[in-house]
């Protein structure tokens, strides 16, 4: 919901701030006053074209910002978070700057972002029904999305898309297998030979490092033996007689002699404690002696350096080709074994996959049929509602038909490329239907695709009828229920249940009298569930609004005409609103027109 719209230096509007009502807001003013600039501002923050010609004369840039209240679980919030923007106190700030030089800058939540992000977020918050924007509904994809939204078929659509993704993945796999050429077969041969070679060598992760360490000990066995012997002779002469002519005593013996000498002292002092410490050192020294003795006893058996080097070389060849480690070699072999299964593409394998594909196809068709059923039912109900609404919107004889047609079938093919006399539903990620909105603007007129068969005003009213009918379908009401609800309910300004803000322009073109009042009533009905902003020149429409803003053109000051025409935007309430409605009714503010305005405002309630 739009909480505030701020504008600076956009056309004749130097500065304006609008706080629309939660329900329905009317934008009024004399022709040429600049009401279109408000739509330009909304288009701007929605990611529309940045027209440097709209920058006010003498200004360097134009700026527009919309502050929107969003729910934490809304799609707009999700898109913003994916772009790195977190809503602040449940609000999103969308702004756009257009420089007179022609460049623009999109900002979301104070963070500069690509315009595409702004378009995605605004698309979940604003729907503009103006002469240019509503031509987008002529797109079949937009019509399908609108019908799905009205049908509330999320469950059926999700179930279908899950089945379709599984089918598409299988089709991709089969296509890849069927299109194998010599290069693919060569890869299969390479993988098979490589796996056989690795299996023949039979490496174990870490084996090469163990063998290199063993080789190092063998090559340095003599040096190790000599060093260990010297160390043992120095530490404990009882372990090894390194030099029979030497009378040196080992370190262990010396420590014990020192301890015994200290214990022989009879005088007072810490001699006993020091003796204990020396004996503790000797115990640790004996652990070292034991470890070194083990190296003297190390037996490499019949280890052959040539055999050892040959194995290290063999393992090295594996790591150079598929490494860098033996663990990587083993992982590559295991992955290659799975790839070989697909690359072999044996007839049995293809037949198995074809059978699996047929099951996936039938599941997707069943899900598509379920989706089509829901769409067709919703299309009939939506078209009937819209047609009924159009008569009350000064479009007697107009009608809408929504066709849900199973897409043309495609001839299937067997695995050997021969055609079969079997027709397959043409499916895509959105189902198996072609959806068309066909509009008849008046009785006797040919039925034409929507967007090519109506004026701007008619299209605006048609879109109003569509949005209103879709809202009623979501609420589960029919015409009689809605009339009853209108007669018993009071203010609807706090009843908004949707994040969407609907903007209507030219919706009152060619409408007057009772039809204008009915148009206002229906806009007010839509505002029960969504925020509505309407640009109108009809008092019968504006009188239904919860809030009304007047766009006024101020001529240039005679003393300073450099600034040119300036447009102001102000909210009118109470007597000020009565005067504005009176002006819209008769162009004057006579007592009669004022009385008529008061009567109209009093009667315009649901």
- Helices (DSSP H) in 500-549: which residue ranges? 513-526, 539-542
Asked whether residue 84 is assigned to any structural domain, the reply reads no
Please give the Cα distance from 167 to 152 (Å, whole number).
25
* Beta bridge partners of residue 64, listed in sequence order: 7, 96
Regarding predicted confidence, which is higher, 572 or 267?
572
Phi, psi of 30 (to 5 degrees): -65, 155
pLDDT of amino acid 419: 43
Among candidate residues 173, 164, 157, 172, the one with its CA nearest the CA of residue 360: 164
pLDDT of amino acid 302: 54
pLDDT of amino acid 133: 58
pLDDT of amino acid 490: 34
- Tell me if the bond preceding 572 is cis, omega within 30° of 0: no
Domain count along the chain: 1
How big is the CA angle at 440 (ends 434 and 134), to the nearest 5 degrees?
Answer: 70
Asked whether residue 73 is assigned to any structural domain, the reply reads no
Torsion, Cα 552 558 562 567, to 10 degrees, reads 0
Q: Which domain holds residue 284?
A: 207-324
pLDDT of amino acid 494: 36
Please give the Cα distance from 61 to 51 (Å, whole number).
11
At residue 183, does pLDDT exceed 60?
yes
Q: If pLDDT is split at 50, 70 and 90, which confidence band does 253 have?
A: confident
Is 170 in contact with 356 (CB distance < 8 Å)?
Answer: yes
Asked whether residue 543 is assigned to any structural domain, the reply reads no
Span 96-115, pLDDT tens digits: 999 988 788 999 998 999 99
Asked whether residue 212 is assigned to any structural domain, the reply reads yes
Asked whether residue 467 is assigned to any structural domain, the reply reads no
Average pLDDT, stretch 13-21?
A: 92
382: its two tokens: 């939506």
Asked whether residue 12 is assigned to any structural domain, the reply reads no
Torsion, Cα 278 279 280 282, to 10 degrees, reads 90
Please give the Cα distance from 605 to 602 (Å, whole number).
7
Please give the Cα distance from 465 to 488 (Å, whole number).
22
Regarding predicted confidence, which is higher, 546 or 340?
546
User: How far separated are the first and last CA of the chain, in Å rounded?
Assistant: 21
Asked whether residue 526 is assigned to any structural domain, the reply reads no
Asked whether residue 301 is assigned to any structural domain, the reply reads yes
Average pLDDT, stretch 539-565?
A: 80
pLDDT of amino acid 283: 87
Please give the Cα distance from 89 to 108 (Å, whole number).
15
Q: Element (H or E) spanning 444, and its range? A: none
Span 380-423, pLDDT tens digits: 999 999 999 888 888 888 899 999 998 866 555 544 444 444 45
């Amino acid at each position: 919901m739009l909480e505030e719209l701020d504008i600076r230096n956009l056309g004749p509007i130097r500065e304006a701030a609008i706080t629309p009502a939660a329900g329905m807001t009317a934008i009024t003013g004399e022709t040429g006053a600049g009401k279109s600039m408000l739509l330009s501002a909304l288009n701007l923050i929605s990611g529309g074209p940045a027209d440097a010609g709209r920058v006010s004369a003498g200004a360097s840039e134009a700026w527009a910002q919309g502050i929107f209240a969003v729910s934490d679980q809304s799609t707009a919030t999700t898109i913003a978070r994916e772009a790195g923007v977190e809503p602040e106190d449940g609000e999103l700030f969308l702004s756009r700057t257009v420089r007179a030089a022609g460049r623009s800058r999109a900002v979301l939540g104070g963070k500069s972002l690509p315009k595409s992000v702004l378009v995605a977020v605004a698309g979940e918050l604003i729907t503009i029904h103006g002469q240019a924007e509503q031509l987008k509904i002529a797109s079949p994809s937009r019509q399908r999305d609108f019908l799905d939204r009205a049908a509330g078929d999320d469950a059926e659509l999700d179930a279908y898309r899950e089945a379709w993704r599984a089918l598409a993945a299988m089709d991709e796999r089969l296509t890849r297998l069927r299109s194998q050429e010599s290069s693919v077969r060569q890869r299969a041969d390479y993988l098979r030979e490589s796996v056989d070679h690795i299996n023949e060598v039979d490496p174990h992760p870490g084996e090469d490092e163990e063998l290199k360490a063993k080789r190092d000990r063998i090559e340095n066995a003599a040096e190790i033996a000599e060093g260990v012997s010297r160390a043992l002779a120095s530490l404990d002469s009882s372990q090894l007689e390194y030099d029979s002519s030497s009378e040196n005593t080992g370190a262990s013996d010396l420590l014990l002699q020192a301890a015994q000498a200290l214990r022989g002292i009879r005088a007072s002092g810490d001699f006993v404690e020091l003796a204990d410490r020396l004996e503790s050192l000797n115990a640790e020294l004996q652990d070292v002696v034991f470890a070194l003795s083990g190296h003297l006893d190390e037996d490499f058996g019949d280890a052959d350096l040539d055999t050892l080097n040959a194995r290290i070389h063999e393992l090295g060849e594996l790591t150079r080709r598929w490494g860098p480690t033996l663990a990587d070699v083993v992982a590559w072999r295991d992955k290659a074994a799975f790839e070989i299964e697909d690359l072999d593409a044996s007839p049995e394998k293809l037949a198995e996959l074809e059978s699996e594909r047929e099951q996936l196809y039938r599941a997707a068709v069943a899900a598509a049929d379920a989706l089509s059923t829901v769409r067709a039912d919703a299309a009939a109900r939506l078209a009937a509602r819209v047609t009924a609404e159009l008569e009350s919107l000064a479009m007697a004889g107009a009608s809408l038909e929504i066709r849900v047609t199973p897409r043309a079938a495609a001839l299937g093919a067997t695995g050997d490329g021969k055609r079969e006399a079997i027709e397959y539903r043409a499916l895509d990620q959105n189902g198996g239907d072609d959806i068309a909105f066909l509009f008849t603007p008046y009785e006797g007129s040919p039925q034409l695709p929507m967007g090519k068969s109506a004026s701007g005003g008619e299209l605006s009213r048609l879109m109003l009828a569509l949005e209103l009918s879709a809202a009623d379908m979501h609420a589960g009401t029919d015409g009689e229920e809605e009339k009853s609800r209108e007669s018993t309910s009071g203010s609807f300004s706090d009843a908004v249940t949707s994040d969407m803000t609907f903007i209507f322009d030219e919706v009152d073109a060619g409408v007057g009298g009772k039809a204008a009042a009915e148009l206002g009533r229906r806009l007010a009905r839509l505002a029960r569930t969504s925020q509505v902003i309407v640009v109108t020149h009809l008092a019968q429409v504006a009188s239904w609004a919860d809030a009304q803003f007047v766009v006024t053109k101020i001529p240039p000051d005679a003393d300073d005409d450099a600034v040119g025409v300036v447009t102001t935007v102000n909210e009118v309430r109470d007597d000020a609103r009565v005067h504005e409605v009176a002006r819209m009714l008769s162009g004057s503010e006579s007592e009669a027109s004022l009385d008529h305005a008061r009567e109209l405002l009093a009667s315009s309630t649901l």
